[in-house]
Amino acid sequence: MELQLKTKYNIFLIALLFVLTTCSASIMVTDYYISENSNFAKKEIKYLNWEKDFGIKIIKIKRNGQFLKVISDRIQIQQNDTLTIIGSNSEINRFKMIYK
């Protein structure tokens, strides 16, 4: 069961990256660090509204040296997490200007 879920997630991620890169030449994947005093710490992804507000999506979280795949928007962001986000150059740049 877990292998099926991982396979489906990998297929979804590959398809998403393909669609995004063929539809827009300005797709960016970058990391965003959650500091110890970040307002995003201890919030579930679904409450961040980054996809709705900025058009960016969290695709991976690095926590304590290990990578977590984002397969649910109920994952809670923690202090010192590094989030891998994807979006257009302009969307990510706008996000980073607001949340330095």
Contacts of 1-8 with CB under 8 Å at 24 or more apart are: 5/71, 6/69
State the pLDDT at residue 26: 81
What domains lie within the chain, and their CATH numbers? 26-98 (3.30.70.1450)
Q: What is the pLDDT of residue 21?
A: 62
Backbone phi and psi for residue 87, each to the nearest 5 degrees, phi listed first? 175, 180
State phi, psi for 64 to the nearest 5 degrees. 55, 40
Residue 96 corresponds to which tokens in the numbers above?
């980073």
- Residue by residue, pLDDT tens for the chain (100 residues) are 555 666 777 777 777 776 666 655 588 899 999 999 999 999 999 999 999 999 999 999 999 999 998 888 899 999 999 999 999 888 999 999 988 7
75: exposed, middle or buried (C-beta count within 10 Å: 0-12, 13-18, 19+)? middle
Which pLDDT value is given to residue 99?
86
Residue 16: predicted pLDDT: 73
CA angle 64, 100, 21 (to 5 degrees): 80
